[in-house]
Structure 1
Amino acid sequence: MGALDGRVAVITGAGRGIGREHALLFAAEGASVVVNDLGGANDGSGADTGPAQEVVDEIRSAGGKAVANMANVADWTGAEELIAQAVGEFGRLDVVVNNAGILRDAFIAGMEESQWDSVIAVHLKGHAAVLRHAAAYWKSASKAGEQVAGSVINTASASGTTLPNAGQANYGAAKAGIAALTLVAAEELERYGVRVNAIAPIARTRLTLATPGMGAIFAQEVDEGEFDAFSPANISPLVAYLATEKCPLTGKVFAVQGGAISELAGWHDVKVIETEEAWTIDDIAARLP
């Protein structure tokens, strides 16, 4: 018996890196998987059917169930068709793992509009589009009397939560938005039997290897037999747990890296100043620092 026996999962960006590890583990644990990947470059340009199909072939050769999907998740219709494919192929939908992403790093003063728009589109809109159509499916199923036990796992980042990274205003803003989207969706979808959580992973991927100042860290070689703290395979067990039918967690954001998992908290008061009269600029200047 696998932890995900009978579950049907859509995993975006599953042709390489962390998403690929998710797909392989989900299938090994008994899930039927729709492997979504546009197959583009790090910056989102181009397309290739190879990455998604290769993961599907690997799953099938091991006895698992999977189909490929090459939709662009930033396209509203493409996201709708992705969800429809899962239901059409496997008869239901239980899990969405939003993982697809790109990088177009630039410092704010020199950032081009296309660099901002493309990153926000793939990450934030890509999460929202897939989530929207999955939510509509689960809402309809719930109202029809079905017992829904849905799970969504979004992918945020330390860049948008705990470790803002210079040169990634577009990426960090998108990832912070994904964390907020997760909390809102958890509140909305609970009534339909759906849980929504997010992870902020740190692992060796095409994107992290291409991030200035980080590539050398993630590229460090590990001797055979030793624990590889930056392997993307370290991320997937948490995602698989969050996808299980009986997992009770919702509205959580977890940082996950190597052998460490930590729950993150959002904005909170660290200092409060109050007045019983109208504020003056001088009063604020004297008291706020």
Structure 2
Amino acid sequence: MEMRFDGKVAVLSGAGRGLGREQALLLAARGAKVVVNDLGVAIDGGAPSSAPAQEVVDLIKAAGGEAIANFSDVSQESGVKQLVADAVAAFGGVDILVCNAGTIAHGTEPDALNPDMFQKQLDLMVTGVGLLVSAAWPYLASSGQGRIVLTSSSGGVFGINTSAYYGAAKGGVIGLLRCLALDGDACGIKINALCPLASTRLFAGFSDNEEFNNWFNDKARPEYVAPLVGYLAHADCEPTGRAFLVGLGHVSEIFTGLTKGWGTPGHDIEDVRDHFGEIADQTGYAVPASSAAATGFIIKDAPARRA
């Protein structure tokens, strides 16, 4: 059976280009009423334009769908509130929230980091995302089937050279995901994240290998990421608090594991050194569902250690 979104209202930030554009077009084609948010800025966050978001809306309407454009700055509280207000005014609520908006600053060496750029990246990709989720939360909760999809990055999980600003912000998205997923349990909201691999403006400049860039531009199409977003945004999606690497026609789950480890009360520095192999041994790892579960994993072995 085809997975459709008839009657659902989907709000997508950063949906004027690249990944967000393909997601908006897919959800609209499957029946969703779509709010296309995009400030239309250049890759460094400057030169805003209404053209990208409006073009996506025009394409959706030309295909018989329903959509409106929104040009709010989702790094600001006033902007996220206006985005949600526009969705409610136009379509009566919010059922799906997809957070794509982002800029990038790469090529900065560790000895040249500055607080202003950290703040700029965090405002948009952590604070802004959290505030947008907060503004939409009452509407997502009211249906009992709210769905949220966040956009992180493999750079925020596994690291990437000379991109500390971007990596820190995208890593913060994973922290938001894990906490908000627990909060959503009580009201039926499912929230997941993707780490996309796609040929977009944000990827440009990561490699100076022309042959690789030509291959990547052909194989890593943004439309290959959209189906995972569609699944995670659907009411039939049951997973929550999960993160996925997606691109090139491939999907993998990213998870955080906890080794069985080693411990004894009163150990010293040399004990850590001597038992580091056991501490780091990934055999029999666990995948805790929360911080409490991770703590419990350690506590359960405490009696044996005391003995």
Compute the TM-score of the two structures, normalised by the length of structure 2. Answer: 0.84
Provide the rounded CA distance (Å) in 1 between the counterparts of 2:150 and 2:66: 23
Provide the rounded CA distance (Å) in 2 between the counterparts of 1:169 and 1:130: 24
Provide the rounded CA distance (Å) in 2 between the counterparts of 1:245 and 1:274: 43
Offset of residue 211 of structure 1:
2.6
Alignment counterpart, residue 174 of structure 1, candidates 154, 158, 169:
169
Residue correspondences, number: 275
SS across alignment from 1:220: helix
Between the aligned residues of both structures, percent identity stands at 37
Q: Which amino acid aligns with 2:126?
A: L
Alignment counterpart, residue 145 of structure 2, candidates 149, 153, 158:
149
Out of 249-258 and 27-36, give the one that drifted further: 249-258
CA deviation string 1:149-191 (max 9, x = no partner): 1100000111011x31011111111111111211211110121
Q: Does 1:274 align with 2:276?
A: no
SS across alignment from 1:199: strand
Greater Cα radius of gyration, structure 1 or 2: 2
Q: Does 1:85 align with 2:73?
A: no
Offset of residue 214 of structure 1:
7.5
Offset of residue 286 of structure 1:
3.4
CA deviation string 1:65-124 (max 9, x = no partner): 110011111101110111111111001210000000001122221122222111111111
Offset of residue 245 of structure 1:
1.7
Q: Does 1:188 align with 2:176?
A: no
Q: Trace 1:196-207 onto structure 2 (pairs within 5 A).
A: 196-207=191-202
Offset of residue 195 of structure 1:
0.8
1:208 aligns to what?
A: 203
SS across alignment from 2:219: coil
Q: How well do the aligned residues superpose, as a CA RMSD in angstroms?
A: 1.9
1:160 aligns to what?
A: 156
> Kindly tell me: are residues 114 and 70 of structure 1, through their superposed partners in 2, closer, same or farther at Cα, counting changes over 3 Å?
same
Q: Does 1:256 align with 2:246?
A: yes
> Kindly tell me: are residues 221 and 239 of structure 1, through their superposed partners in 2, closer, same or farther at Cα, counting changes over 3 Å?
closer
Offset of residue 212 of structure 1:
4.4
> Kindly tell me: are residues 219 and 154 of structure 1, through their superposed partners in 2, closer, same or farther at Cα, counting changes over 3 Å?
same
SS across alignment from 1:206: coil
Q: Which amino acid aligns with 2:17?
A: R
Out of 206-215 and 55-64, give the one that drifted further: 206-215
2:129 aligns to what?
A: 127
